[in-house]
Chain A
Amino acid sequence: MTATGRTISTSLASQIKRGRRKLSVLGWIAETLKYAVLIVLSISFLLPFYWMVSSALKDSSQIYTVPPIWIPNPAYWNNFWDAWMTYNFNLYTFNTVVRYAIPATIGTVLSSATVAYGFARIQWPGRDFLFWICMMTMMVPFQVTTVPLFITFKHLGWINSYRPLTIPAWFGSAFFIFMLRQFFKTIPEELSDAARIDGASELGILFRIILPLSKPALTVVALFTLMGCWNDYYGPLIYVNNAELMPLALGVQAMRTELAHVGGTHKFAYAYLMAVSTMVTAPIVIAFFLAQRTFIEGISLTGMKG
């Protein structure tokens, strides 16, 4: 059915000139069906989020009602504030952003861009071989390196800090090196040559010419790294156990465990969980709406060239 819908329109591409509005009855049925499928799919994709937000406004009597209540009445708007403040989410946000996301993002962008420049814009013997090795490292499952690194970090006394998660970020990420290299290669070589004739150093060319021209690609790297830190669960789970240092992902989970103990006796147990989930998701929604094109183009850029 999808196939039919899709190809009807491609064959339309050639027929379009002959008469745009002359769709057959069959064509109309296919068109209607196509939108019906799209709308049903869209609703099922969005419904979980609607459920999350609406449940954030309920008290337990509304939560436990069958059939489920879709429009809470009364709506407890205070839940957002109460849940956030009661469970220390200002601290978790601070930890996520200041201790984790910002240092990791600055490190990743700067180091990946520098390394990508060395792989993309300078001709030197051995370059392509090293680049190949860089690509191969992406094949190694993180589990192989996690165990020895954990042992090393433990001996260094880095457990219960963000150092295991932020310091490696300053050594470049193979994935983003690859992405930036592809992007840098599209910038005309003449620009660099002209600058070299004027006596610019390679570092000067990188910072004065290449980086300003690569803002879209750098935005993708920064955005994806920030979001990766904001969403990261596995890294902090292993390295950060101290309640004072927890990031948002662990904070939500800790709150869930705590509320599970009081269970049904808490009037807003589920509502609080959903309220905090909503608020943790909100910045991602905002970022997505502000930078939708960056997201979509970034994803398309990263997934296509093998």
Chain B
Amino acid sequence: MSVAISKRRRISPSTRRRFLTGLLFVSPWLIGLLIWTVYPIVASVYYSFHRYDLLRPPVFLGLRNYTRIFTQDADFSVVMYNTFVYVIIGTPLGLASAFLMASLLNTRIAGRSIFRAIFFFPSIVPGVVVAMIWQFLLNPQFGAINGTLRALGLPVIPFLTSPPYAKPTLIMIGMWAQGSAIVIFLATLQDVPRSLYEAATVDGATAWHKFWYVTIPMCTPVILFQLVMGFIWGFQDFTLPYLLTGGGPNEATRFYALYLYDNAFRFLRMGKASALAWILFVIILIFTAILFKSSARWVYYGGGDE
């Protein structure tokens, strides 16, 4: 800091005062950055090169945590497969359904805010409660869904107890709790200028043309943002799978965040967990980079938007 100030000494004293005032105002965050972000990042790199179980002092391993994860850890490939299937299918599917529902709400309908409230509500319910409700609802013996199927003489669906069903079931519950995306998409749709639709009507565009050539392009910046955030959150999803399936059945829902949690807080492998966290970070960075790179092809920035 002192270097920065001395460099600016030639600048007017008022600038210098504003610099100090500004710095003072952001200082809680700046100090927090050092304590809660910079230090842990450095420490995390350090631990990822060590074996450390909190009891004995760390033992230096070099890159062995990483090489073992990639070459000797059979669980890791299962976890990667699960996570990628879950995120790559679940996130776009969830956003697509949210977009369609928002589009439906954006039509001229009576009671829009009631429907919006209903669709939004599941997303703010505590994760524990969501897990509790769905576990009960999907119970193969007496849950509401299978109970009804049973009564109708139909085969029971093992939603959470059979490996092929477990991931789709979690994705479905995710779609149910997709409320904030619906609200965001609806707000975006309402911002699309009416004049564009009117111009399209004058040009003889059909309803489908307007949706495809006006509505969707105008929403692509927000869709991109939601996709990026959706992937980032998807890779870190923990509470629902942890409580609903605990990674089962037969490891079908053992996702990255669960695996990392197990290593860190059940097996106390702090070094390996740190290495896993860095691998996760790199995966997220690659995903985000790919999305932004591809965005030049499909995201439309116009209409004076940022």
> Chain A residues in contact with chain B, CB under 8 A?
2-14, 34-35, 37-38, 41-42, 44-49, 51-52, 55, 63-68, 111, 114-115, 117-119, 122-127, 130, 133-134, 137, 139-152, 154, 168, 170-172, 174, 177, 202, 227, 230-231, 233-234, 238, 248-249, 252-253, 256, 270, 273-274, 277, 280-281, 284-285, 288, 292, 295-296, 299-300, 303-306
In the assembled complex, 23 residue pairs joining A and B whose CB atoms fall closer than 8 Å, in A order, are A4-B208, A8-B107, A10-B210, A11-B207, A14-B197, A41-B101, A45-B122, A48-B122, A51-B137, A63-B142, A67-B148, A114-B25, A118-B21, A124-B19, A143-B280, A147-B277, A150-B265, A151-B43, A171-B32, A172-B32, A233-B243, A299-B183, A303-B226
- In whole angstroms, what is the CA distance A37 to B115 when docked? 11
Q: Contact between A288 and B40 (Cβ–Cβ < 8 Å)?
A: no
Shortest CB–CB separation between residue B157 and chain A, in angstroms? 15
Q: Which chain B residues numbered 1 to 42 have a C-beta less than 8 Å away from chain A?
A: 4, 8, 11, 15, 18-19, 21-26, 28-33, 35-37, 39-41
- Does B56 interact with chain A (Cβ within 8 Å)? no
Instruction: State A70–B269 Cα separation when bound (angstroms).
Output: 48
Contact assessment for A6 and B211 in the assembled complex, using a CB-CB cutoff below 8 Å:
yes
A124 pairs with B108, CB closer than 8 A: no
Contacts of B171 in A (CB 8 A): none
Asked if A55 and B128 sit within 8 Å, CB to CB, the answer is no
Query: Do A51 and B133 touch across chains, with their CB atoms under 8 A apart?
Result: yes
Beta-carbon contact of A125 and B19 below 8 Å? yes
Within 8 Å by CB of A273, from B33, B122, B132, B260, lies B132
B100 pairs with A147, CB closer than 8 A: no
Please state if B126 and A306 are interface contacts (CB–CB under 8 Å).
no
Contacts of B24 in A (CB 8 A): 118
Report yes or no: B115 in contact with A64, Cβ–Cβ below 8 A: no
B31 near A171 with CB under 8 A, answer: yes
> Please, which residues of chain A bring their CB within 8 A of the CB of B113?
292
Determine whether the beta carbon of B120 is less than 8 Å from that of A296: yes
- Number of B residues whose C-beta is below 8 Å from A? 112
- Asked if B144 and A64 make an inter-chain contact with CB atoms under 8 angstroms apart, the answer reads no
Q: Which A residues touch B120, using CB under 8 A?
A: 295-296, 299
Closest Cβ neighbor of A67 among chain B residues:
B151
Give 13 new A-B contacts, CB below 8 A, not counting A11-B207, A45-B118, A67-B148: A2-B104, A7-B215, A9-B109, A10-B197, A38-B115, A66-B150, A115-B28, A124-B19, A139-B284, A144-B278, A168-B36, A233-B128, A253-B128
- B21 lies within 8 A of A202 (CB): yes
- CB-defined contacts of A130 to chain B, threshold 8 Å: 26, 30
Report Cα–Cα, A300/B185, bound state, in Å. 8
**Contact yes or no, B221 A144, CB < 8 A:** no
Q: A258 to B4, alpha carbons, bound, how many Å? A: 59
CA distance A3 to B100 in the complex (A): 8
B residues sitting closer than 8 Å to A (CB atoms) are 4, 8, 11, 15, 18-19, 21-26, 28-33, 35-37, 39-41, 43-44, 47, 52, 54, 100-101, 103-104, 106-109, 113, 115-122, 124-129, 132-134, 136-137, 141-144, 147-148, 150-151, 176, 180-181, 183-184, 186-188, 194, 197-198, 201, 206-208, 210-211, 215, 221-222, 224-226, 228-229, 232, 235-236, 238-239, 243, 257, 260, 264-265, 270, 273-274, 276-278, 280-281, 284-285, 288, 306
A202 and B218 CA atoms in complex are apart in Å by 40
* C-alpha spacing A185/B54, complex, angstroms: 46
Minimum-distance CB pairs A-B, first 4: A171-B32, A118-B25, A7-B207, A67-B151
Chain B positions within 8 Å of A285 at CB level = 121
